[in-house]
Structure 1
Amino acid sequence: MKKSFYYIYTALALLGFSCNKILDTTPQDFVSPVNYYNTESELESALAGVYDRMGDNRVYAQGMASYLVVSDEFFMKNQTSGINANIVDASTLEINRHWEALYTGIERANMLLENIDKAQQVGEAKRKEIKGQVLFLRAYYYFLLTDEFGAVPLKLQSSKSPEEAPLPGSSVKEIYDQILKDMKEAAGLVRSVSDYGYNTRITKTTVQGILARVCLTMAGSPLMDLSKYTEARAYADSVMQSGLHGLNPDFKQIYINHVKEIFDTRENLWEVEFKGTSQGEIQEGGTIGSYNGITCGNIDTGYGYDYVHATAKLYNAYANGDLRRDWTVAPFRFVTTGSTVVRTAWGAGEIYERSNGKWRREYETLLPRNQNNTGTNWPLLRYADILLMFAEADNYLNNGPSEKAYTAVNMVRRRGYGKDVLAPDTQADAPAGLSQQDFQELIVNERLRELAFEGLRKHDLIRWGLYPSVMQVQAREYQTNMPVALRDPAVAQAQRVTARAVLFPIPNSELAVNPNIKQNSGW
């Protein structure tokens, strides 16, 4: 049965004022840090409030599964205005709300960290477990912010007064140093995934895996701290040596499990949990599978908005025999005539017409279905990603791939071809004897094939220093080869990815209250 956080964040909730005394201005029903954070239940509730921002609509419930992560793997079909068309400026609502959601998570984390030791009746082990999760989440929110906005305010204490002076942006290096500090401390405090049996809490291998991602990011653009490859490999290897994780032998089952709300803690180290359909429940549904799912106009079958469409580059990246292609890129759509819904295959030449097929609503178990909201979880870290990160770091450090790097990549590839991941296979295995540069190119393409539509491609292209150039090539590809009915909006979306698009603009909501922060270049 699915373990869930259904707590409502209650700290600092102003519920009402006494009106018995005209001159009595003291709130009579106010939950403040002075009388909160005392019991285990209150700590867990506050912790749930920190996790909660992950499921915001402008974070992983929708934005970071679609319009905030436009790359060469997908385009937004026939979108000509607003964020769905990749039209962004400092006033864009979704960018402002994204920023606010992440800083809300940070503020909640700071409050909990400052007050956690008040709960002396709560055992030390429990307080350490909660503290580790909060430290990690604060660091992760900063990882997203600096990755997307660059030099942002590094706020490590909660707000005590509206009179506090706003902070300037800290350097990207300073922010990453704090991210590493918090995550490394968290690694010694959090528990093992085996203690939970589900993967929506932060665990030791989750921290290690995300530290590998952070270190690979630091090794790339903009910091180019090449020393971090050593740490990235070590953290990925720690997960690999833990014995707690492995590849699900069936690629498609990963996503069926997400839709069916089944936890697979071996493949999936960390997920954002969604539950229910947000209809009269103290549960939070997302839009995974509806906003970014297969074309379908029928709620009973599983409504799909037909926004996120695969590129020919993604489709053609899969070789013959690679089973990932026809699961990742849906080979069909649902056509509704009256009350009849028919699964209709796309023609061989209809590539750009195809939708993201990973999260298929036909597998939902909660009926009746809702048009918008689903309980499908979002994957933040999979074991396949761990293997590919290890191989990338190892290739750099050895000036070429070692046998262990080849094994890591080939395990991912063999699973993609439906083979035994531990048995050499002439069809699936990467060519032997690749140079460092050629092996890195293999990694670039393998991450595209394996992790498509999972919100990582834009991040990868940026850290590799490739985002604007790759997207300008995409614009030319669309102009030349895309069907006329889809072409112009897709071309415009890709053309908007210039050098300034590596970072989002600092939102107007921040600029309006913070005279000490500078707008990013080009915005």
Structure 2
Amino acid sequence: MFLQMKTTLFYIAMMLALVVTSCSKILDTTPQDFVSPINYYNTESELQSALAGVYDRLGDNRVYSQGMACYMVFSDEFFMKSQTSGMNANIVDASTLELNRHWEAIYTGIERANMLLENIDKAVKVTEEKRNEIKGQALFLRAYYYFMLADEFGPVPLKLQSSKSPEEAPLPGTPVKDIYARIVADMKQAEELVKSVSDYGYNTRITKTTVQGILARVYLTMAGFPLNDVAKYADARSYAEKVMLSGLHGLNPDFKQVYINHVQEIFDTRESLWEVEFKGTNQGEIQEGGMIGSYNGITSGNIEMGYGYDYVHATAKLYNAYAAGDQRKDWTVAPFRYVTTGQTAVKTNWAADQIYDRSNGKWRREYELLLPRNQNYTGTNWPLLRYADVLLMFAEADNYVNNGPSADAYKAINMVRRRGYGKDVLLPDVQADAAAGLSQPDFLDLIRNERLRELAFEGLRKHDLVRWGIYPSVMQAQVREYQANMPAALKDPAIAQAQRVTERAVLFPIPNSELAVNPNIKQNTGW
């Protein structure tokens, strides 16, 4: 039975690795029938099609189309309204379907990257420049997938060659430190191979500043839990500064326009360095729609105005984190919902005390250009790296390196804050600017709260809380907050969701789909 299952999984993996189902308008690929590596990877179009397959797993429902936008990243910024079962309620074990599919989707992306990297040099008629460009993207994406896995599961198998036979011995988990060493090595190699965003004019391909910005994130993660290698703060500062000095990026002067652009598929390459691209509503041959704005959007039962499942609700902690005059508040935390009367949806404001009733307002379906709207699927892109994040990462790393914030750190965080208040990002502002003379701990506290305000609902908060080493304690504080202040009709499910974030929840369990075929891997502590 074990061999039969393993053989079946091997052939499924081979099929997935060679059948490209992406029809992205940017990557310009078409579906391919099953082919062998012997007669594939020979032309530029075949290489681009294979690369599209590597990118494709980012858009899986259990990755950024849905899971990484809500139920896989529980934090202090949101709760899932009235959810009492399954992963939507933060009920997780090794058998959880969404978790198993998440793992499989990411390893499928890795398998596809490995196959492309192993065969790319066969394309002798493709210019070296083009092969290097494609190779750099594949290297980076493989590294990014391992960054996700190590962050979520800890010591996972580090598989750097594609599967050649179902009889191959399964790999044990690799120490997290070694995984990060490989991530850094591959990303640094990719940095030298990929092109500039100015060569594309869109942000759904990996570019040099994308690699640099994600390397800043990787180094900040290595500086915190679980490695606690504080020497990496200097590297994080350096790589964030590379992006800042490139001259290619800047803050969009209008905070809300950042998200309108995502909804309308407008590529603002200055603000948004990297996005997962979605397209269409899954009604025709092209099945590239996502669920951003529907699964995690404004409460609405009306398809005409844009259906929004009543799931992702803001916490009072998030709502109250914004000071008077901060324009991010009413865009991030929707002050209204759509109430349907007959065939008409009416925008209806929440009362002042209805804080926990408010939902994620960032990706508003009323701005969609593709009509008629679909209940579930949208073409809204998902931001993986924004310039505001780069500025905040720089400020955080600088604060550690200099034993307190330098003038450059203040400049970086104040640019983000000024934009949030609708001010000119380069001009001092009494209302928006951070208090001067903060100590290192106080500035770190400011950074933590500023990241909450600026990056809410973008899938980064749990990651931040984990690397800061405070995820369980922060979520247990949320339990007490919910018990004391949440309306009775909402509190019990929200309390249970937050209570499940204990020390073991810092890592997910290794899924049963891996345990069933890999006797060499160990389950994570507590699971």
Give the TM bin, normalised by the shorter chain. Answer: over 0.9
Q: CA deviation at 1:339?
A: 1.3
Q: Report if aligned partners of 1:75, 1:310 keep a CA contact under 8 Å in 2.
A: yes
For the residues of structure 2 that align with 1:511 and 1:283, how far apart are their CA atoms? 31
Q: Does 1:4 align with 2:21?
A: no
Distance 2:493 2:385 in 1: 32
Q: Which string of whole-angstrom CA distances, capped at 9 and with x for unpartnered residues, describes residues 255-295 of structure 1? A: 00000110000000000000000111324000000000000
Structure-2 separation of matches of 1:330 and 1:443: 24
Match of 2:462 among 439, 458, 464: 458
Q: How many residues align?
A: 504
1:338 Cα deviation from its structure 2 partner: 1.1
Whole-angstrom distance in 2 between the partners of 1:402 and 1:347 = 42
Q: Which moved more, 1:282-291 or 1:378-387?
A: 282-291
Whether 2:214 is the aligned partner of 1:214: answer no
User: What displacement does 1:77 show?
Assistant: 0.3
In 2, distance between residues paired with 1:362 and 1:6? Answer: 28
1:6–1:282 Cα contact (<8 Å) kept: no
Please say if 1:35 is aligned against 2:39. Answer: yes
* Residue 309 of structure 2 corresponds to residue 301 of structure 1: no
Structure 1: any 5+ residue segments left out of the alignment? Answer: 15-30
What residue number does 1:357 align with?
361
TM-superposition CA deviations, 1:11-61 (whole Å, max 9, x none):
xx54xxxxxxxxxxxxxxxx1111100000000000000000000000000
More helix by share: 2
SS at match of 1:60: helix
Equivalents in 1 of 2:205, 2:285: separation in Å? 22
**Partner residue in 1 for 2:495:** 491
Aligned residue in 1 for 2:505: 501
**1:420 maps to which of 414, 420, 424:** 424
Corresponding residue for 2:246?
242
- In structure 1, how many angstroms separate the alpha carbons of the residues matched to 2:492 and 2:413? 37
Equivalent residue of 1:58, what SS? helix
**Are the counterparts in 2 of residues 8 and 49 from structure 1 also a CA contact under 8 Å?**
no
Q: Give the Cα–Cα distance (whole angstroms) in 2 for the partners of residues 375 and 459 of structure 1.
A: 26
Q: Distance in 2 between matches of 1:459 and 1:477?
A: 21
Aligned with 1:180: secondary structure?
helix
Tell me, in whole angstroms, the C-alpha distance in 1 between the residues paired with 2:286 and 2:315. Answer: 38
What does 1:375-390 correspond to in 2, within 5 Å? 375-390=379-394
Matched, 1:164 2:168: yes
Contact 1:37 1:116 in 2 (8 A): yes
Structure 1 counterpart of 2:29, one-letter code: Y
Whether 2:309 is the aligned partner of 1:316: answer no
Counterpart amino acid of residue 5 in structure 1:
L
Aligned to 2:336: 332
2:188 maps to 1:184:
yes
CA contact (8 A) 2:482 2:491 kept: yes
Contact 1:273/1:378 (8 A) holds in 2:
yes
The residue identity in structure 2 corresponding to 1:268 is S
The corresponding residue for 1:175 is 179
Alpha-carbon contact 1:53-1:102 (below 8 Å) kept: yes
Q: Is the 8 A contact 2:81 2:490 kept in 1?
A: yes
Shift of 1:3: 4.7
RMSD: 0.8
Distance 1:62 1:278 in 2: 15
Q: What is the aligned partner in structure 1 of residue 209 from structure 2?
A: 205
Match of 1:521 among 501, 521, 525: 525
1:286 aligns with 2:286: no
Secondary structure of the residue aligned to 1:349 is coil
Deviations 1:296-335 (A, max 9, x none): 0000000000100000000000000000000000000000
Alpha-carbon deviation of 1:8? 4.8
Alignment identity in percent? 81
* Contact 1:287/1:374, CA 8 A, preserved across alignment: yes
Rate the CA distance shift 1:311–1:45 in 2: closer, same or farther, 3 A.
same
Structure 2 CA distance for aligned equivalents of residues 341 and 248 of structure 1: 31
Is the 8 Å Cα contact of residues 27 and 48 (structure 2) preserved in structure 1? no
2:131 pairs with 1:137: no
2:269 corresponding residue in structure 1: 265
**Which residue identity lines up with residue 365 of structure 1 in the other structure?**
L
* Whole-Å separation in 2 of the counterparts to 1:125 and 1:88: 45
* Distance in 2 (alpha carbons) for counterparts of 1:38 and 1:9: 17
- Counting only pairs closer than 5 Å after superposition, residues 16-31 of structure 1 correspond to structure 2 as 31=35
Cα offsets for 1:372-409 (capped at 9, x unmatched): 00000000000000000000000000000000000000
113, 123, 127: which one pairs with 1:119? 123
CA distance in 2, matches of 1:278, 1:205: 32
How far is 1:117 from its partner? 0.2
- Preserved contact between residue 90 and residue 507 of structure 1 (Cα < 8 Å): yes
Moved over 4 A (4+): none
Other-structure match for 2:396: 392
- The superposition leaves residues 212-271 of structure 1 with CA deviations (integer Å, 9 ceiling, x where unpaired) of 000000000000011100110000000000000000000000000000110000000000
The question of whether the paired residues in 2 share the 8 Å contact of 1:245 and 1:383 is answered with yes
Amino acid of the residue matched to residue 244 of structure 2? M
**Matches for 1:98-117 after TM superposition, within 5 Å:** 98-117=102-121
Q: Offset of 1:4 from its aligned partner?
A: 2.2
Partner Cα separation in structure 1 for residue 42 and residue 433 of structure 2: 55
Q: 2:151 aligns with which of 135, 147, 150?
A: 147
2:27 alignment partner AA: F
Q: Is the 8 A contact 1:3 1:198 kept in 2?
A: no
Whole-Å separation in 1 of the counterparts to 2:260 and 2:347:
18
Which residue identity does 1:62 align to in structure 2? Q
CA contact (8 A) 1:9 1:48 kept: no
